């Protein structure tokens, strides 16, 4: 790998004019309103996850079109009113096996979405979330081009509805503090994190913070001409055989561009970017970061950690260490009197 994008000093001020449809807000408000016509139908089933320091729940809720969507919920044992990190997965990932990450060890609940129609790279013996077959059509293998001819049919419309409905789940779980909901994810999960932050205000949900790592699905116009790495390459291959569809397809993508969604965020954020990332080029990440909260009444706090010699793996455990410190600072700023642990089991704190 080598540096292939703009120099860092240019990235830091890079604010491209990304195409945004005039009905962007109306499109997403209509989409979220349609989703809420379905009761959330939240079901939490405790499971034996072979653990003693946290409780594990198999979560089912109504996502796009009222379809059942799966998730995992991990909560430090015998604790109530705890902050939560809602996590979204990278491309091809799913919720996998019920193993929590570092967040639970740090005292947070951890809510992990199963990515509809994906999960092919994640080992699991548990039920996943299929995508709706009614939206299938001519597409390059993967999900990047499924329904690309129409924003109402595009795959990421369904996925982003699931993203927001999982925030509603976090609001309803008794053990979670609804005022301390954070969102996090890398690559596609970073794009979903940005979508959560941008769409939450439309859903009447206030987030405490967002942690997008090396986010995907930002500044499509540049990404598609700067990298031929997958998954962006799926769209390039689609355009190779459908040149007359390019204009309409790019209009569809503009409704899902992370730059347009980042503009609508109102919560603080800590990004990460890797300057040798050939999957999610750094200029596309900075395009979203530099416009974070642009449309908010008050500009939210924003910071970005830069990894000069890293590729798409990003900062890995070093970035997670930084995130845990950032989360702790945000929680302390909003600290409430702690509730006493319930009796009967050992506390994980």
Catalytic residues: 187, 277, 312
Cβ-contact 191, 258 below 8 angstroms: yes
Go through the chain and tell me how many residues it has.
349
Query: In angstroms, what CA-CA distances link 100 with 49, 97, 172, 218, 342?
Result: 10, 9, 20, 28, 21
Name the nearest CA neighbour of 329 among 293, 310, 301.
301
**CA 22, 24, 25, 31 torsion: positive or negative?**
positive
CB contact set of 270 (below 8 Å; sequence gap of 6+) = 209, 210, 211, 302, 303, 304, 305, 322, 323, 326
CA end-to-end span of the chain, whole Å?
42
Instruction: Point out which residues pair with 55 in neighbouring strands.
Output: 75
Could you list the beta-strand ranges (E) of the chain: 43-47, 54-62, 68-76, 82-88, 109-113, 176-186, 209-213, 269-274, 302-307
Q: Are strands 54-62 and 43-47 parallel, antiparallel or unpaired?
A: antiparallel
CB contact set of 88 (below 8 Å; sequence gap of 6+) = 113, 115, 163, 183, 184, 185, 188, 189, 190, 192, 193, 196
């Amino acid at each position: 790998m080598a540096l292939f994008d703009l120099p860092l000093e240019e990235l830091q001020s890079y604010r491209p004019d990304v195409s945004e449809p005039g009905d962007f807000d109306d499109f997403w408000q209509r989409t979220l309103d349609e989703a809420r016509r379905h009761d959330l139908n939240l079901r939490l089933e405790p499971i034996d996850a072979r653990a003693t320091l946290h409780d594990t729940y198999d979560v089912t809720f109504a996502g796009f079109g009222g379809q059942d969507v799966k998730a995992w919920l991990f909560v430090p044992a015998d604790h109530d009113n705890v902050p939560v990190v809602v996590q979204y997965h990278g491309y091809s990932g799913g919720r996998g096996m019920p193993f929590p990450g570092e967040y639970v060890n740090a005292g947070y609940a951890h809510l992990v979405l199963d990515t509809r129609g994906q999960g092919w790279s994640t080992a699991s013996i548990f039920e996943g979330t299929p995508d709706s077959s009614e939206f299938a059509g001519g597409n390059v293998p993967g999900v990047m081009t499924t329904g690309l001819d129409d924003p109402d049919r595009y795959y990421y419309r369904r996925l982003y509805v699931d993203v927001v409905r999982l925030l509603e789940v976090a609001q309803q779980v008794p053990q979670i503090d609804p005022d301390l909901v954070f969102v996090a994810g890398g690559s596609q999960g970073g794009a979903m994190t940005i979508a959560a932050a941008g769409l939450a205000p439309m859903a009447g949900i206030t987030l405490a913070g967002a942690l997008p790592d090396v986010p995907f699905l930002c500044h499509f116009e540049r990404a598609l001409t700067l990298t031929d790495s997958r998954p962006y390459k799926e769209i390039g291959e689609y355009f190779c055989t459908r040149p007359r569809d390019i204009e309409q397809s790019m209009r569809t993508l503009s409704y899902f561009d992370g730059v347009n969604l980042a503009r609508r965020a109102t919560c603080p954020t800590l990004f990460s970017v890797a300057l040798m990332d050939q999957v999610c080029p750094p200029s596309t990440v900075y395009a979203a970061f530099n416009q974070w909260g642009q449309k908010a009444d008050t500009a939210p706090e924003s910071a970005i950690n830069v990894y000069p010699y890293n590729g798409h793996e990003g900062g890995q455990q070093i970035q997670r260490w930084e995130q845990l410190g950032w989360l702790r600072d945000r929680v302390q700023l909003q600290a409430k009197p702690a509730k006493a642990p319930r009796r009967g089991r050992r506390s994980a704190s």
